[in-house]
Structures are given as structure tokens and as C-alpha cells.
Amino acid sequence: MNVLEKIVGSVTSFSKSERKVADVILANPQITIHSSIAALAKMADVSEPTVNRFCRRLDTKGFPDFKLHLAQSLANGTPYVNRHVEEEDGPEAYTAKIFESTMAALDTARQRVDINTINRAVDVLTQAKKISFFGLGASASVAHDAQNKFFRFNVPVVCFDDIVMQRMSAINSSDGDVVVCISHTGRTKNLCDIAAIARENDATVIGITAYDSPLARECTLVLSLDVPEDTDMYMPMASRVAQLVLIDILATGFTLRRGSKFRENLKKVKDSLRGSRFEKKDFAN
């Protein structure tokens, strides 16, 4: 928990003078970190020891230490704090907010993701006879993206966004097959069924979903990304971006595991796309 949040969270327990200090700091945190204790005391119209006591109350060693913590809070905290899109936001505002909240989501995802599980997932994927990606609704596009990535690896890969096809595919899976189920909430009934069916047929099921969800319980391996989603908006945005990045990571792990000879093959796929493009550099669509 960063200092700024801590201050906000404990305003109630502050005394009158401490409150004054808190107000000044919250109003201009950027100025605070470049002020001396005397300057801040003057701004808040309290004495210096009061400021010092305030710092101690927030579990810092003293004023300089407090400034250090505050600086760190500002570095990653500020742009991400309270940045929800609001009714009256103009284009500049909502554009900035969406970029920032997406970045914030990626930041927390990075911190929470379990490297160990990623590594095991890569293990499983590299040894797969066949890889299937299943997602519904918004997660379907993530599944498509995954298919597009893994397809280049020259591995048998399929992707279905249709329940019936998913079901058929799951029923026909067998030992050595890997099924990747993608769902933000992990509560989509149909997908849970698919996961269960795939497991019954000895496939390894990797879930890219919420930890401790019904879907997670059906999976062999769970990659959870508990990203804070803005529930005011009626669409999952940040979580889906995090899922995509996770797919990127798995794909990267995959290529690295396969070694350099394999990556030459990737280059061939890349080159083969040249013909369908207007000349000049690069790749992608």
C-alpha cells in the first residue's frame, strides 16, 4: 500500500493539526517532496514536530523517509489513482484515462502473475500434440489472437468461438492435447463444461481466468490475472489486454524453449507474408 493511499485511508484517525498536514500534502504532493519540514509546516500552518509526528504515524522513519515514500507513490501511483472515466470527460480526458488504467492493469498483472505457472504452461504447450484455444464473447478475440500466434509455430492449433464446435473438439481431445480456456470471470457455464469434458478425455486444460472460479477448478493449470476492472464501464477492457499480454508471454516462452533453429522457421513464415504486401520492411497486419 502506498503512502498516498495510506493518508487517504486514515484521515479519520488524524487529529486536527495532522489533518491540516494531510490536506496540504494531498493538495500538492509534488511540491511536498521538494519541501523541507519547515516549509511544509508553514504551508499547513502547524509546527515542525507536528509534521514529524504525522510522518511517524504513517510508519515512516521520519520526514526525509516520508518524502522518499511519497516520491515512490507519485512515481507509479498518481496516474493510476482514481482514473475512472466519467460522464463529463472530454476526448483528452477519457483517452488519457483509458491508456493509464490499462497500463495500471498491466502493472498489477505483472506483479501478480505466477512465473512458475507460466513456466509450467510453456512446458505443457511445447510438448502438446495439438493446442486448442477456446473463448466466448470478448474472450473469443483473445483466443483468435492466440491461434494466430501459435499457428506460426507450425504446431497443430485450433480455435473455436462456437459452443458446439468447442464441445465437439473437447470430446475428441486425448492425452497429449492441450486445451486453453479463456474467460475473465471464469463463470461462463458453457466454458466450464468444455473444460470438464476435455479433462475427462485426458487433455491438459490450461485456464486463463480468475483464480478460484468455477472454471479454474476444472483446469489442470490456472493462469490467473486478477486485474482490477472498472466495473462502472459495461465492458471488460483492461483484463482482456492483460490476457493478450499473457498469450504473448506464452508464445515467447514457446519460441525460446524451441531454440534458435526453430526460430529460423518463424522467419520463413514471416517472409512468406511479404508477397501479400506492398514492399518495404516488416510484418504484421
Binding site for DNA (CB under 7 A): 15-18, 36-38, 45-50, 52-53, 55, 61-65, 67
- The order of strands in the sheet holding 177-183 is 157-160, 130-135, 177-183, 204-209, 221-223
Measured distance CA(62)–CA(157) in Å, rounded = 58
Helix (H, G, I), strand (E, B) or coil at 110: helix
Shortest reach from residue 31's CB to DNA, in Å: 14
Structural contact between residues 242 and 224, judged by C-beta atoms closer than 8 angstroms:
no
- What burial class does residue 207 get, using C-beta atoms within 10 Å of its C-beta: 0-12 exposed, 13-18 middle, 19+ buried? buried
List 24, 37, 122, 206, residue binding a copy of itself (CB under 8 A): 122
Q: Which cell numbers in the block locate residue 130?
A: 495439438
- Residue closer to a copy of itself by CB (options 17, 52) is 52
Span from 12-20, 172-180, 193-201, 226-234 in contact with a copy of itself (CB under 8 A)? 226-234
- Map the footprint of a copy of itself across residues 157-196, applying CB under 8 A: 182-185, 187-192
The H-or-E segment that residue 108 falls in is helix 91-112
Contact 97, 84 (CB under 8 A): yes
Cβ proximity to DNA, 37 vs 109, nearer residue: 37
Task: Say if CB 122 and CB 101 are below 8 A apart.
Answer: no
- Interacting residue with a copy of itself among 18, 145, 177, 218 (CB under 8 A): 145
23-52: contacts with a copy of itself (CB under 8 A): 33-34
Question: Could you say which of 141, 172, 201, 220 contacts a copy of itself (CB under 8 A)?
Answer: 141
Task: Select 11 or 233, whichever has its Cβ closest to a copy of itself.
Answer: 233
Region binding a copy of itself by CB under 8 A among candidate stretches 4-12, 40-48, 50-58, 79-87: 79-87
Q: How many other β-carbons are positioned within 10 Å of the β-carbon of residue 142?
A: 25
Stretch that binds a copy of itself, among 4-12, 19-27, 131-139, 170-178 (CB under 8 A): 131-139
For DNA, the closer of residues 17 and 117 by Cβ is 17
